[in-house]
Structure 1
Amino acid sequence: MLGKTYLTRQASTLLKFAKSTSDSELSAKLISKAADLKSQADPLPDTDQSLRAPDVDPEDQTGAP
């Protein structure tokens, strides 16, 4: 499960992209997706349960890609 901080950061990034584009259709889609992410983040606890990013394999301790 993704954490609240991660989802909020992604929503914020989408809003920044939406403000920077002159394409109104793209902007509306980005804003809609940001709202979806925010609605997913709202019910989650304020603190994330893990310090590791969600895409990091906890088994791999070598740091190799």
Structure 2
Amino acid sequence: MLGKAYLTKQASLLLEFARTTSDSRLSAKLISKAADLKSQADPLPDKDQGPKAPDVTPGVSPGEQTQS
């Protein structure tokens, strides 16, 4: 699944392209696609919650890890 930051960035780029084109039909399609991406991004959490590496200990700096 794509993250909120990615979808938001893509929507922003589509809107930027829509503003720069002189083709009104293309502009309308780009704006429509940007709206679709925005609607996909809205229900997602603000921070992407990807899986963490199995060796990551929350709150411990790499130099502080102890050997077992």
Return the TM-score normalized by structure 2.
0.72
Report the count of equivalent residues: 50
Large movers: runs of 4+ above 3 Å: none
Gaps of 5+ in 1: 51-65
How far 1:28 moved relative to its partner? Answer: 0.0
How far 1:49 moved relative to its partner? Answer: 1.7
How high is the sequence identity, in percent, across the aligned residues?
Answer: 82
Q: Are 1:5 and 2:32 an aligned pair? A: no
Gaps of 5+ in 2: 51-68
Higher RCO, 1 vs 2 (CA within 8 Å, ≥6 residues apart): 1
Following the alignment from structure 1 to structure 2, what is the Cα–Cα distance between the partners of residues 49 and 6? 13
Q: Which has the larger radius of gyration?
A: 2
